[in-house]
Chain A
Amino acid sequence: MIIFYSKKTGVVFGVINGRVHENSDSLWIQPDDIPQDNVGKYIVPFKPKYRVEEQPITEMRVVDKKTMRVEQVVVGKKKVKVSAGMEPDVPFAGLISDFEAGKKRIYDYKVKLDKGEVVGFVLK
C-alpha cells in the first residue's frame, strides 16, 4: 500500500493498493491543486507473518505382513512454523489492515507526521 498525502495538512488524497510494487519509485498520485513538493508518499512496510501449527509425523509402514501392503501411518506430531501471509510492519498495523479491508475509510483520516515521517493516523 502506498499512501499519498499533503505534507502541509496531512490530508490523504490517494492510495495505490498492494503489498509489492516493482516500480514503486515511479508511481505517483497528485491532485492539481497540490504542488509536487507538497505531496508526501508513504510506502507502508510489510513483513511476513507466521503461525505455528501442529502437523502429523508420518512414516511408511508395512500394515499387512502377509501381503506386505505398505501404508502411510501417523507416528506422532510436530509443531511447524507456516506462513500466514503478510502484515504491516508498523505500530499502527491494525489501522492499516482496516484500511486495506475496507473496514475504515482512509480518507476520514490525516497522517500524523513527526519530523517529516509518518508516525500514525488521526481522524480528520
Chain B
Amino acid sequence: MGNYGAKISRPGYDVKTCSNTQLIFSSAFETMNVAVAGTSSKTNSSGSNADINFTITHGLSFAPYILMFYKLSSSSSYWNIHPGGPYFLSDDGNHANAHHIEVTSSNVVVKFFYMPDGETIDIKYYIFNVSL
C-alpha cells in the first residue's frame, strides 16, 4: 500500500503540505480507541466490613491501558478516578478504602478493600486497544 489515509488541516493551512501540528485530525495519529467499556456495581451485604473485587476479562492478548472511575453510595454526588494502586491508604494509615487495580493480558482485577456493610460501589471502566 502506498500513502493513504485522511487528514484535516487548521483553517489557512494546505492539508497536503502542512505539518502535523497544523492538522486537527490525521488518521495517521496514534489514538487510544476503546476496546471494551462498561459499568459494574456491587453492594457489600455481608453484614460487616468486606473487600469487594471485580474481575473483568477483556479478551485482548495484551495488558491494556485502562481508565476507571468509581462512586460510593455513601458519597454518591461525585465520581472518583480510581487511583490504580498499588495501595491507597486512608488517613489513619489502615487499609480501609485502599483500592487497587491489577492489569494482565487476560484480566483487569479491581479491588476495593474493607468496604463498610451496606456500601454500594459503582464503577465505570474504559479498556483501550493499546498495550501498556
Give A contacts to B, CB under 8 Å.
Answer: 2, 12-18, 23, 25-32, 106-107
Give the chain A neighbours of B56 by CB distance below 8 A: 14, 28-29
Bound Cα distance A15, B56 (Å):
10
Q: Does B80 sit at the interface, judged by CB under 8 A? A: no
Find the A residue at minimum CB distance from B38.
Answer: A16
Q: Are A32 and B55 in contact (CB under 8 A)?
A: yes
Bound Cα distance A89, B55 (Å):
29
Query: Contact partner of B40 among A14, A23, A32, CB < 8 A?
Result: A14
Q: List 24 contacting pairs A-B, 8 Å CB cutoff, sorted by A.
A: A12-B41, A14-B38, A14-B40, A15-B39, A15-B40, A16-B37, A18-B37, A23-B59, A27-B36, A27-B58, A27-B59, A28-B55, A28-B56, A28-B57, A29-B55, A30-B54, A30-B55, A30-B57, A31-B40, A31-B52, A31-B53, A32-B52, A32-B54, A107-B122
Q: Does B7 sit at the interface, judged by CB under 8 A? A: no
Bound Cα distance A15, B59 (Å):
15
Give the chain B neighbours of A2 by CB distance below 8 A: 38
Known: A23-B59, A26-B59, A107-B122. A14 touches B39 (CB 8 A): yes
Q: Does B42 sit at the interface, judged by CB under 8 A? A: yes
Give the chain A neighbours of B41 by CB distance below 8 A: 12-14, 107
Query: Contact partner of A27 among B42, B51, B54, B57, CB < 8 A?
Result: B57
Give the chain A neighbours of B57 by CB distance below 8 A: 26-30
Bound Cα distance A14, B36 (Å):
13
Question: What's the minimum C-beta distance from B102 to chain A, rounded to whole angstroms?
Answer: 12
Question: What's the minimum C-beta distance from A21 to chain B, rounded to whole angstroms?
Answer: 8
Find the B residue at minimum CB distance from A107.
Answer: B41
Question: What's the minimum C-beta distance from A65 to chain B, rounded to whole angstroms?
Answer: 41
